Amino acid sequence: MKALCINFCIITSLALGAYADAQQKEIQKELRRLEKLKAYIDEKLSADQKVLEQIKKERAALEKLKKSLDEERKKIDDARYKKLAKAFENMDPEYAGEKLSKMEDPVIAAYILYNMNPRKAGEALNYVDPQAVSNITKILIKLRKNAKK
């Protein structure tokens, strides 16, 4: 019986050792798979970071271009308003006032008046519809405040 018990212990010990070896091999296999997965993820992360940096550079370039275009548009608008102001200055004040009253956008009328000779702008305003004068005056006040800054 003692021999049987020793044989059983040896067999059990061998079986457990074989099981442990199989488990260790399985763990090693899983470890290699995880290492490959980590390398793949690191590679993708690196590529994504490069793309993100490129996007940031392009966004900065676009912001710079937008600012440049906005400044250019403002210069063009200013030149256009100055040209319109000269045309309105040369009009009869009554006719100029009538045209300013009929403008759909009071901002445009305000910019024209802002760029006109103050005396001629005042004469034209005498002939502008009172409601339009109210709207234009509010805009002119904002323009003058912004010009002082």
Domain map (residue ranges) of the chain:
27-148
Residue pointed to by tokens 């200055």? 89
What is the pTM for the complete model shown? 0.60
pLDDT in tens, 86-126: 999 999 999 999 999 999 999 999 999 999 999 999 999 99
Summary mean pLDDT of the chain:
88
pLDDT in tens, 20-57: 677 888 888 999 999 999 999 999 999 999 999 999 99
- Residues of 12-49 as b/e, b for ≥16 C-beta within 10 angstroms? eeeeeeeeeeeeeeeeeeeeeeeeeeeeeeeeeeeeee
Residue 14 pLDDT greater than 90, yes or no: no
**Domain at 27-148: CATH code:** 1.10.220
